[in-house]
């Protein structure tokens, strides 16, 4: 009886199968071989495929021209470095300004399908067919720490052009083969990359986060504190 119960519990806890996405992963493995580093299927919802850095451009070609993912959604970069400034209203810079000792930042965690570098490039593409014939996939690859360069996707997905320009400008990651990496938002002589976790926000260093020190009272609270809003 106990064995049957254990088996039933194990079957209940097992992840549900997703034949369509599992098959998609296998198609990537067949096309890219060992260049598929890791995968993750969230049954019924989504799929991620991480490929070797040197296979990044080939993964785009496989997705579009062999598997039919002709829809390009976006391309960007993730900085997995834990922010030295903390998060929101629990910001480390505010703690330091308050005279508290700075805490050690947590270790990097690269999210779904893992990783071994601070920066990762990721892109979303999809196959859009007749009703019921749809799938999307998020492709990822590590960006080498020493070169901060990956191959461009522009030759395969023309829409990746400005996405790569934005990633170059905001994260400092270059895209080999891009037809013209140039600024989208910032002046040409701007120094630094604003979307990096360690980019200094000078306004935060001059004054703590407003949510901590400048909390405005809710309507009626100020009157209550002055004794004007209390019932007689």
Q: How confident is the model at residue 12, as a pLDDT?
A: 44
Residue 157 near residue 125 (C-beta atoms within 8 A):
yes
Q: How confident is the model at residue 94, as a pLDDT?
A: 59
Residue 174 near residue 87 (C-beta atoms within 8 A):
no
Residue 75 near residue 167 (C-beta atoms within 8 A):
yes
Q: How many CB atoms lie within 10 A of CB 161?
A: 18
Q: Report pLDDT digits (tens) over 76-124.
A: 999 999 877 655 545 555 566 566 666 676 788 999 999 999 999 999 9
Nearest one of 51, 34, 57 to 150, comparing CA atoms: 57
Q: How confident is the model at residue 1, as a pLDDT?
A: 43
Q: How confident is the model at residue 218, as a pLDDT?
A: 66
Q: Which residues of the chain have pLDDT under 50?
A: 1-2, 4-7, 11-12, 89, 213, 229-232
3-class DSSP state of 213: helix
Residue 65 near residue 156 (C-beta atoms within 8 A):
yes
The CATH superfamily of 17-225 is: NADH:ubiquinone oxidoreductase Nqo5 subunit (3.30.460.80)
Q: Which helix (H) or strand (E) holds 187?
A: none
Is the dihedral angle over the CA atoms 64, 156, 52, 145 positive or is it negative? negative
| φ and ψ at residue 29, rounded to 5 degrees | -65, -40
pTM value > 0.85: no
* Residue where the block lists tokens 């030759």: 155
| The two three-digit tokens of residue 73, written as one number | 């959604």
Q: Report pLDDT digits (tens) over 69-84.
A: 999 999 999 999 987 7
Instruction: Tell me the C-alpha distance between 25 and 48, whole Å.
Output: 9
Q: 85-101 burial, b for 16+ CB within 10 Å, e for fewer?
A: bbeeeebbbbbbbeeee
DSSP 36: E
């Amino acid at each position: 009886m106990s064995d049957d119960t254990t088996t039933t519990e194990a079957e209940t806890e097992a992840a549900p199968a997703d034949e369509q996405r599992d098959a998609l992963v296998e198609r990537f493995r067949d096309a890219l071989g060992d260049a598929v580093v890791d995968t993750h299927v969230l049954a019924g919802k989504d799929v991620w495929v991480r490929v070797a850095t040197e296979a990044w451009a080939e993964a785009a070609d496989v997705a579009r021209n062999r598997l039919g993912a002709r829809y390009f959604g976006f391309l960007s970069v993730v900085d997995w470095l834990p922010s030295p400034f903390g998060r929101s209203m629990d910001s480390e810079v505010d703690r330091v300004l308050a005279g508290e000792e700075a805490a050690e930042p947590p270790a990097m965690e690269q999210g779904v399908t893992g990783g071994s570098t601070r920066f990762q490039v990721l892109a979303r593409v999809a196959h859009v067919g007749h009703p019921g014939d749809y799938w999307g996939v998020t492709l990822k690859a590590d960006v080498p720490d020493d070169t901060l360069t990956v191959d461009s996707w522009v030759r395969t997905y023309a829409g990746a052009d400005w996405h790569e320009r934005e990633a170059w400008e905001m994260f400092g990651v270059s895209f080999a083969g891009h037809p013209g990496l140039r600024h989208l938002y910032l002046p040409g002589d701007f120094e630094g990359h604003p979307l990096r976790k360690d980019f200094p926000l000078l306004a935060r260093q001059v004054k703590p986060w407003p949510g901590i020190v400048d909390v405005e009272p809710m309507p009626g609270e100020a009157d209550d504190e002055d004794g004007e809003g209390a019932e007689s």
